[in-house]
Structure 1
């Protein structure tokens, strides 16, 4: 899938993410981003197993939390680094829009994955992405990404059943250009 930069995605929850460009690096491509998040919005607890992510607050108040720890806060000019494999979340803890710049490295499939997640949220009209799309993405990219707040029973039973039902019903044609998952 060819992506032209800048590439902007927006979900129905008040999150707007612009992938500004991709820089070539010996340790893997680095995608540069700008986030705009409305008050009290932000992604749920998640993990990217193969990428580091850094956000620098341009304006607003960034609340962030690593799984099992208390929330922390960052303000204009401060940066937060989320290391690969560490479950984390962030949100806008202020009353004005939060604007951050940052990067994700290596880029791998993050642009495709987040674009598809936002589209699935917009399809459902809520935080929980449309069920078949979510099952496809969480199954195909299970070695790259995880959603920590999904109960184990749902991950081990409901999502695989939904995924296979989606295959049988032909629900995944719009994912024909999905990048090959990393192992």
Structure 2
């Protein structure tokens, strides 16, 4: 799937991303973005299994945390590199957050986040709409993980929901979705 940059997405829970550009090199590619997060908002614990992510605070205060560790905080001009495979989350601490960053390799990141924000908008909460969430969680399980989802739900409920969604024709709008990285 191809996007025209800048490409802006916004969810109903206080997060906005403007994807600025994608740069390809001989060995990798990066997608650059700006993010805006309302106080107390930010993604749940998640893991990019195939990608590194760097965030630099432009304004505001960002809290971030690796799973099982104490929270840390960054202010304007400070950065954090979140290595692939690290389970982490971040949020706007006390005031609106404006950050810049990149993800590398880009893989399906722009598509995944666009569909995720759309699914959150459908549900009106942080948890995505059921069928779109099942699609993303099943189709892109080799790239992304949400460790707070119980194992039984990941292995049984979500694949069953995905199957039902396929039977009901819920995923026709994803026919041009990028192939997941194995």
TM over 0.5: yes
Counterpart-to-counterpart distance in 2, 1:55 and 1:46: 15
The count of aligned residue pairs is 182
Alignment match, 1:31: 31
Q: Which runs of 5 or more residues in structure 2 are unaligned? A: none
Q: Report SS of the residue matched to 1:116.
A: helix
Alignment match, 1:99: 98
Alignment match, 1:67: 67
Once the two structures are superposed, residues 127-182 of structure 1 have per-residue CA deviations (whole angstroms, 9 ceiling, x without a partner) of 10001001011100000000111111111111011011111111111111111111
Q: Is the 8 A contact 1:48 1:145 kept in 2?
A: yes
Please give the residue correspondences for 1:30-49 in structure 2 after superposition, counting only pairs within 5 Å.
30-49=30-49
Q: Compute the displacement of 1:26 (Å).
A: 3.0
Please give the residue correspondences for 1:111-130 in structure 2 after superposition, counting only pairs within 5 Å.
111-130=110-129
Alignment match, 1:169: 168
Alignment match, 2:148: 149
Counterpart-to-counterpart distance in 2, 1:44 and 1:145: 12
Q: Report SS of the residue matched to 1:39.
A: coil
**What RMSD, in angstroms, separates the aligned Cα atoms of the two structures?**
0.8
Runs of 4 or more, structure 1, over 3 Å off, are none
Once the two structures are superposed, residues 37-86 of structure 1 have per-residue CA deviations (whole angstroms, 9 ceiling, x without a partner) of 00000011000111000000000110000011011101110001100011
Q: Is the 8 A contact 1:54 1:102 kept in 2?
A: yes
Q: Is the 8 A contact 1:27 1:106 kept in 2?
A: no
Query: What is the TM-score when the length of structure 2 is the normalising length?
Result: 0.98
Q: Report SS of the residue matched to 2:163.
A: helix
Alignment match, 2:11: 11
Q: Is the 8 A contact 1:121 1:129 kept in 2?
A: yes
Counterpart-to-counterpart distance in 2, 1:46 and 1:98: 19
Q: Which runs of 5 or more residues in structure 1 are unaligned? A: none
Q: Compute the displacement of 1:2 (Å).
A: 1.6
Counterpart-to-counterpart distance in 1, 2:173 and 2:46: 24
